[in-house]
Amino acid sequence: MSKHPRRFYTFGSFQFFPEDHILLYNGRNVGLSGQSLKMFEFLFEHRNRWVAKKDLLREIWPEGGEDSNLQRCIATLRAHIGRFDNDEFIETQRGLGYRFVAEVTVGSEEDAKVEKHRIAVLPFKISSIGGKELDDSLDLAMADTLITKLTQVNSLLVRPTSSIEKYAESADQDLWSIADELGVEYLLVGRGQVANDRIHLNVQLVYRDSKTVSWASSFNEPFDDVFELQNSIAEHVANTLKLRLSPEEFVLMTKHATENIEALLLYDRGRLYWNRLTPQDLNKAIELFEEAIALDNNYAKAYAGLADSYTLQAWFSNRPPSQLRPLVAATATRAIAIDPNLAEAYTSLATFLEGYEWNWPEAEKNYRRAIELNPDYHIGHQAYADLLARLGRFREAQEQYDEALKIKPDAFFTHAMKAWAHVFANQPELALKHGNIALEYREKYFFAYLVIGEALEQQGRFDEAISMILKAVDYSGGHAFATTWLAIAYALSDRKPAARKILKGLEETNAQHYVPPYFMALICGVLRDDDRMFEWLEKALEARDSYLGYLKVEYYLDNNLRADPRYKILLRRIGFPIKE
């Protein structure tokens, strides 16, 4: 616990910690975030008083909000609380607004029934001294598995794997500075060696406030028993912190995603390649996930990893949707069938429903389920934000991107996608800000250059935009995504012959292998060849081109094209609600 116990408030079986912005139910995180958390805090602060709609709108949406935003937010808040308790804590009265009416008592952590210890597990430092060839991902895999186990304990707040990955490469670590940076009381650290098929491990649980070691132990076990070793470490942490585990918590804490250590290591290596977001690395990730599944056919995370890899191949490869769509569907549904409580699996299914089925309500439902299961899964927030952006719900999208970046601030792809959503919302200054942040974390990331180019186009700075997009073409190896955006930049800057030349090249390439029809449609649209644009959009629809899901918010479509009846018909066929 901290030296200065924090105050908390109790109503029913809920505990609210305002300093940490956390609402618990019998020690379990309710999972409020974004606007629903802001609304709860505002109503709680003004409890037993009516709060008018206009005051809530001004507080939650200072830049301007509508009644529909408010109704959706209050429904989300009630749904979160209603999952745990059916009592009506928030009243509604026409003409008066909303009122939080629960009876509230005040306490502090010293007398709380459930202590919430904040802990992070750092990547272990394990070397080989002969005999056993070690996989480079073992250090992070050990930490990731322990994080998964400890997260099952309601009285622990565990930092997610994405927040500790950056410490894997650092040799000399100032533990107390790391604890402050992560905002935790405890750090679990481990060092060891593997020799002659045995693992020798020294593990410590250190306490930040007193700079002392709360628990330490040495282990010398057969390498094949590493899962039981991880169970033992998790149990020692629970015992040291005097945590009272329910039978359910104990079962979940000692559960293994796979019983095969080689499969675990293959999966973690696969995710490392997946996060690099290049065609070559995605192919490698697929290979590793398939090897993991070959070793353990019931490894749900590996199936989710496969689904996510196939999904990204729609962006970064020339594989057509006719190949990828059934692969994503099969692997995502298989992951859920194996583990119906796996956030990664629901995120994978949601991206399939969003990208290939254009079933927006079901996709959103599955994203929400993923975040409910694991609020610290940053990819779940990021992918949900993309869906919200496609639907034109830009404020909500940015809130989800912000949630993802709280969990993993150095996620270059998240920054780039956040920038792209600002482009769709015609906010070029913010797009430039986050596009440049993405480049700080990944210097030659082509997608960030594309987004920066789009934002510069919105500001009329075409020469600078073309310079940025040319870099994207170079760094992507001439990817069709980048060359398409170059053609658009040429067309917008009155260099139409150059744009037509690129269009012709893409059409010729498409005769040899798949190029998303949406790309050719956009170029035709900017060139004001409307009939050809709609021909290519029709082909995109037939191909289930995942890029077509951006049609509603596409920046390059002017008002004349949007007024064309064919545009509205297409939107309706993609599942977007249309106002007549």
Note the pLDDT tens digit of each residue in 68-85: 788 888 888 887 787 667
pTM listed for this prediction: 0.72
Per-residue pLDDT, averaged over 291-300, amounts to: 95
Which tokens is 245 given?
């585990």
CB-CB contact of 305 with 338 (8 Å):
no
pLDDT at residue 393 tops 90 = yes
pLDDT at residue 315, as a whole number: 82
* Lowest pLDDT segment from 356-365, 403-412, 420-429: 403-412
Structural contact between residues 10 and 105, judged by C-beta atoms closer than 8 angstroms: yes
In terms of Cα–Cα distance, which of 364, 306, 362, 299 is closest to 330? 306
* DSSP letter, residue 199: E
Q: Residue 215 is inside which H or E element, if any?
A: strand 212-222
pLDDT of residue 135: 60
Is residue 119 pLDDT above 50, yes or no?
yes
**Residue type (1 letter), 153:** V
CB atoms within 10 A of CB 133: 7
3-state helix, strand, coil in the chain (%, to 5): 60, 10, 30
Tally of residues, the chain: 580
Lowest mean pLDDT, pick from 104-113, 187-196, 302-311, 430-439 = 104-113
Query: Strand pairing of 198-207 and 117-121?
Result: unpaired
The confidence score (pLDDT) of residue 2 equals 38
pLDDT at 174 over 90: no
Domain 7-111 has what CATH class?
mainly alpha
Q: What pLDDT is stored for residue 193 in this prediction?
A: 85
Can you give the pLDDT at residue 233?
85
Tell me how far apart the alpha carbons of residues 10 and 23 are, in angstroms, rounded to a whole number.
Answer: 10
Structure tokens at 446: 């082509």
Q: Over range 435-440, report the average pLDDT.
A: 92
Q: By mean pLDDT, which of 291-300, 354-363, 438-447 is the weakest?
A: 438-447
**pLDDT over threshold 80, residue 25:** no
Q: What pLDDT digit, counting tens, does each position of 537-570 carry?
A: 999 999 999 999 999 999 888 767 888 899 999 9
pLDDT score, position 83? 67
Q: Which of 72-76, 84-88, 179-183, 449-453 has the highest mean pLDDT?
A: 449-453
| Domain range 117-256, its CATH number among 3.40.50.10700, 3.30.460.90, 3.30.470.30, 3.40.50.10070 | 3.40.50.10070
Q: What is the pLDDT of residues 234-284, one digit of tens each?
A: 888 887 877 766 656 666 677 777 888 888 889 988 988 898 888 889 999
Q: Where are the domains of the chain?
A: 7-111, 117-256, 479-580
Residue 3 has pLDDT above 50, yes or no: no
Query: HEC states along 124-191?
Result: CEEEECCCCCCCCCHHHHHHHHHHHHHHCCCCEEECCHHHHHHHHCCCCCCHHHHHHHHCCCEEEEEE
Kindly tell me if the per-residue pLDDT of 175 is higher than 80: yes
- pLDDT at position 4 is 47
